[in-house]
Structure 1
Amino acid sequence: MAIPALPIIGNLLNVDFNYPLGSLIQKGKVYGPVYTMTFAGQKFIYVCNYEIAKELYDGARFHKIVTSGVANLRYAAGNGLFTAQIDNHEWEIAHRVLLPHFGASKIRNMFPSMIDIAEQLCLKWARFGPTALIDVSSDFTRLTLDTIALCTMSFRFNSFYLGDRVHPFVEAMTAVLAEAETQSGIPPHLGFLRWSSQAKFFKNINFMTQTCREIIGNRRDVAADTPDLLDAMLTGQDAKTGEEMTEESIINNMITFLIAGHETTSGLLSFVFYFLLENPDALQKAYDEVGSIIGGERILVNHLQQLPFIDAVLKETLRLMPTAPGFFVTPFKTEILGGNYAIHAGEPILALLHLIQRDPAVWGYDAEEFKPERMLKHNFEKLPKNSWKPFGNGKRACIGRAFAWQEAQLVCLVFQSSEADLGNSADSAENFE
């Protein structure tokens, strides 16, 4: 169903820009399973249930399209793994060079660096004392940014030693992300009205690029062997073409790792805490599992495979609150979606995961409830194919999902070292649903 739009501004007035995702979700509940809106002269199609969404996962019919706020990030990340359009040559080279380095054994080798940063978080919280109110979302952002930087390029932001300040790169990146999202709702021909904001946008991008260039230069000046992803990009060759990644491609992907990786995992961990604190029985099970498997010992990478309830908590959190709330695809040619909706090549379709992964047809009458038990292995394996899809689809699915999962599993370190309650937070369930 097409939601009526106004000339020039389209459906801008139908969106709450303080929480645009909430507007899309609400419209999906009213107008779904498929509805359309228009922004900046472009029609967008939104799919809200599993039965229709599973058609979008057919790589022979649909492919990823970079649009909306992500398209604006191309100014910062170019043809990086997250922002490149389909069949981009630079993307293909980078993907083949990097894919082996995101395998299970390589990710396990990153465990000491992940623990390094996670212990900094736990030490900070321990110093607050048992009655302090902690902004976990802010600290989880510090955790994920520092972990990504250390594991991928052996660079330290030292976020837990800066007080309320952040590293200048992080400050610039945060501003770029905010401006990219703002620009996505503004018609291109009106962009000149925000010339000052756009100037700051490109100034911040230039700073990020120059920082990455300096990191590369410092690495090339040092002869020491540093087996991280930056080293893989600097020294690796594409097995298919024999080509190496260009410096521009390396910089694009350094920025990509930080942009794409930090918000998703930090958001996941924040919602893990929210749901567990709202569900005391599940919280106690998490504490009990960590206590019985790890106890007071120093956590080892082998422990992570022995925590099925923690694994289920992470999966259930990503079902209810996928931190990448959807992904865009478009058909190669005109397709009839769901036997009823004609979609033309180039038209962007958003698989709205927040609704798709709460579809009662898949998840039952209690689809809106947080129940980690439904994600325990014997239940998870019975789910319909592609009904849990938080890491994207096909060859453009998140290359770093194993990295993100291991990083998120280290939430058990918090359950080992502290106890928590929700406190008097202003964030109620309505803010998250």
Structure 2
Amino acid sequence: MASTTNGLAADGLPKGFRSAELGWPELHRIPRPPYRLPLLGDVVGASRHTPMQDSLRYARRLGPIFRRRAFGNEFVFVWGARLAADLADEERFAKHVGLGVANLRPVAGDGLFTAYNHESNWQLAHDVLAPGFSREAMAGYHVMMLDVAVRLTDHWDRARTAGRTVDVPGDMTKLTLETIARTGFGHDFGSFERSRPHPFVTAMVGTLSYAQRLNTVPGPLAPWLLRGATRRNTADIAYLNRTVDDLVRARRAAGGAGGAGDLLDRMLETAHPETGERLSPENVRRQVITFLVAGHETTSGALSFALHYLAQHPEVAARARTEVDRVWGDTEAPGYEQVAKLRYVRRVLDESLRLWPTAPAFAREARADTVLGGSHPMRRGAWALVLAGMLHRDPHVWGPDAEEFDPDRFDAKAVRARAPHTFKPFGTGARACIGRQFALHEATLVLGLLLRRYEIRPEPDYRLRVTERLTLMPEGLRLRLEHRVGNGRACPDPARAAVAEEAASAPRCPVHRVGD
């Protein structure tokens, strides 16, 4: 694997070490797949396009902890609830930046998601940006979320009128990109006015796909095997950097908002409350890219999976729709507080994230020599990958029907009865996703709006296929829309008084259109 600039290999281990040689003294005790091939490792029956789903299949066969080898590197996977809970102990374990996450460092550097634990910019950025996800800040973002939702429903109305199905993953990507770009950075990519994805999305998908491909080829051979892909990745990174630099330049030229506005204002204008330190220009770029990529990619996947399950389970959709009608009533523009009252809609979202967490795994490393689960010795720095997609299907936690879709798993009584650390769609510990409440509010709001407006129908022959690019997304998912005759209510028009009044209480920076 390619090396980084801090003395570590791209998998987060010191140069010159292989993962099989560091940190797991009794690695042989951990089950592995049969039919291991020399040099190549455990590749029989595996696909380079679906490494995470391959790992889920191995997990079902090999049990709550297992190992796989690829090109000389041994990786340990954990999904049993007891072991995962042990790894969630913040005193003994910390986030490990390895595998595909480390492969994103050329573009995201020491941004919040990809920073190593020893890098000081993580704590600085976290402390500066955390107030940007407070309840007060979220209430301000809500108005812009409504505004973007109008553009989605306008787009879907045109498709419905023309008798066309809608491209769910593509349209959810447009929605979530516009939402984070407008709320966080005051910019508009014009996604819904385009017949093809914005070049930023194309570049973003390219960097994610390239990061995953690096895990599927031998490190020393990567420059030769991926020559063309490496050139494209370099161009993709350059485009992402230029786009963000233009965005920051425009904000500086506009004079910002004195730190009282959005996430970009906080990055540019806010000093650490204790040290007075500010984010460097380079780190601002990395944080913006991190938020634009991570802030929309996982949420678009979560919405897409939720819409798939709603279409496949009309009885669930009817129950959720009844709740929306009851809670929101004739309210034309649901307020911030009204979204949290959609408890069953939120259960639908949580159950979708249980079955298909769009960030499907997270890695944890030992802070000091320890023993995992009382059975597996780990030296300081040893790490394991927690398979959230299998943790969420552990029959000892979720029951013998763990593979089935059932939102009532998340009613209040069931949640209280479950052990902690069994549902981890946003990671764990201090470095869990900083924007999780933003994502959950946005997704619940959008599902409520779509349920209130449409009856959604699946294509008869569709069978769920999942595409992987570090994150997970339904592949080829299209839905048919029917307007709710006599019941559907128009989505909120941001020009109307109800929205304008709420917007007046939450000043935002002006929105600028980003060109190609």
Common fold by TM > 0.5:
yes
Q: State whether residues 47 and 352 of structure 1, in contact with CA within 8 Å, keep that contact through their aligned partners in structure 2.
A: yes
The change in CA–CA distance for 1:22 and 1:373 in structure 2 (over 3 A counts) is same
1:224 deviates by 5.4
SS at match of 2:456: coil
Q: Report the equivalent of 1:208.
A: 240
Pick which of 348-357 and 380-389 moved more: 380-389
2:33 matched to 1:3? yes
Q: Say whether 1:251 aligns with 2:300.
A: no
In the alignment, which of 100, 103, 120 is matched to residue 89 of structure 1? 120
CA contact (8 A) 1:328 1:349 kept: yes
Q: Which amino acid aligns with 2:282?
A: E
* Residue deviations 1:385-407 (CA, integer Å, cap 9, x gap): 12111111111100000110111
Identify if the C-alpha distance between structure 1 residues 21 and 397 changes in structure 2 by more than 3 Å, giving closer, same or farther.
same
Flag the 1:115–1:386 CA change in 2: closer, same or farther, 3 A.
same
Aligned-partner SS, 2:320 = helix
Unaligned residue ranges in structure 2 (runs of 5+):
1-30, 468-473, 476-516
Instruction: Select between 34-43 and 49-58 the one with higher mean Cα deviation.
Output: 34-43
Correspondence for 1:199: 231
- Distance (whole Å) between structure 2 residues aligned to residue 94 and residue 385 of structure 1: 28
Instruction: Tell me the TM-score normalized by structure 2.
Output: 0.80
Per the TM alignment, residue 72 of structure 1 is displaced from its structure 2 partner at its CA by 0.8
Which of 435, 438, 450 aligns to 1:414? It is 450
Q: Secondary structure at the match of 1:381?
A: helix
TM-superposed CA distance for 1:297, in Å, is: 2.7
For residue 175 of structure 1, give the secondary structure of its aligned residue in structure 2: helix
Structure 2 vs 1, CA of residues 14 and 328 (structure 1 numbering), >3 Å: closer, same or farther?
farther
Which structure's residues are more often helix, by fraction?
A: 1
The whole-number CA distance in structure 2 between the counterparts of 1:247 and 1:25 is: 41
Between 419-428 and 4-13, the greater mean CA deviation after superposition: 4-13
Q: Indicate the residue corresponding to 2:273 in structure 1.
A: 239
* TM-score, length-scaled by structure 1: 0.95
The residue that corresponds to 2:491 in the other structure is none
What's 1:120 paired with?
151
Q: Does 1:359 align with 2:394?
A: yes
Secondary structure of the equivalent of 1:38? strand
Q: In the superposition, relative to structure 1, how do residues 425 and 254 fare at CA in structure 2: closer, same or farther (>3 Å)?
A: farther
Q: What is the DSSP-based 3-state SS (H/G/I as helix, E as strand, rest coil) of the residue aligned with 2:362? A: strand
1:76 aligns with 2:107: yes
1:278 aligns with 2:312: yes
Partner-residue secondary structure (3-state), 1:184 = helix
1:386 alignment counterpart:
421
Q: Secondary structure at the match of 1:43?
A: strand
Once the two structures are TM-superposed, the CA of residue 307 in structure 1 deviates from its matched residue by 1.1
Q: Deviations over 1:265-315 (max 9, x none)?
A: 111111111112222211110111111222343222221122111111111
SS at match of 2:66: strand
C-alpha deviations, 1:335-367, integer Å up to 9, x for none? 322222233333331111111111121122222
> How many residue pairs are counted as aligned between the two chains?
432
Q: Distance in 2 between matches of 1:413 and 1:215?
A: 30
Which AA in structure 1 matches 2:57? Q
Secondary structure at 1:11's aligned position in 2? coil
Q: Distance in 1 between matches of 2:400 and 2:267?
A: 48
Q: Contact 1:94–1:245 at 8 Å: present in 2 too?
A: yes
Q: Does 1:62 align with 2:93?
A: yes
Give the Cα separation in 1 of the matches to 2:340 and 2:85. 30
Alignment partner, residue 459 of structure 2: 423
Shift of 1:6: 3.1
Aligned alpha-carbon RMSD (Å): 1.9
2:136 pairs with 1:105: yes
- Which amino acid letter does the alignment assign opposite residue 237 of structure 2? I
Any residues of structure 2 matched to 1:283-294 within 5 Å, and which? 283-294=317-328
CA contact (8 A) 1:322 1:353 kept: yes
Q: Which residue in the other structure is 1:398 paired with?
A: 433
| Alpha-carbon displacement from aligned partner over 1:145-185 (angstroms, at most 9, x marks no partner) | 1111111101111110002x122222211111111111122
- The alpha carbon displacement at 1:425 in A equals 4.8
Counterpart CA distance in 2 for 1:200 and 1:43 is 29
Q: Counterparts of 1:152 and 1:8 in 2: how far apart (Å)?
A: 46
Deviates more, 1:296-305 or 1:8-17: 8-17
Verify: 1:32 aligned to 2:63, yes or no: yes
- The 5 Å alignment of 1:137-156 reads 137-156=169-188
Instruction: Give how far 1:8 is off.
Output: 3.0
| 1: CA distance, partners of 2:233 / 2:131 | 34
Structure 1 residues 10 and 101, CA gap change in structure 2 (3 angstroms): same
Worse overlay, 114-123 or 372-381: 372-381
Query: Residues 243-266 of structure 1, C-alpha deviation per residue, up to 9 Å, x if partnerless?
Result: 100011111011101221222111
In 1: Cα distance, 2:464 partner to 2:216 partner:
27
- Larger CA deviation: 117-126 vs 366-375: 366-375
State the SS of the aligned residue for 2:77.
strand
Matches of 1:415 and 1:127, distance apart in 2: 17
CA contact (8 A) 2:108 2:287 kept: yes
Correspondence list, 1:296-375, <5 A: 296-298=330-332, 299-375=334-410
Q: 1:392 to 1:224 in 2, by over 3 A?
A: closer
**The residue matched to 2:76 in structure 1 has which SS?**
strand
Shift of 1:43: 1.7
SS of equivalent to 1:92: helix
2:295 aligned with 1:295: no
Once the two structures are superposed, residues 356-386 of structure 1 have per-residue CA deviations (whole angstroms, 9 ceiling, x without a partner) of 1111211222222211122122332332112
1:23 aligns with: 54
Amino acid corresponding to residue 178 of structure 2 in structure 1: D
- Counterpart-to-counterpart distance in 1, 2:372 and 2:192: 49
SS of equivalent residue, structure 2 residue 404: coil
CA distance in 1, matches of 2:219, 2:98: 13
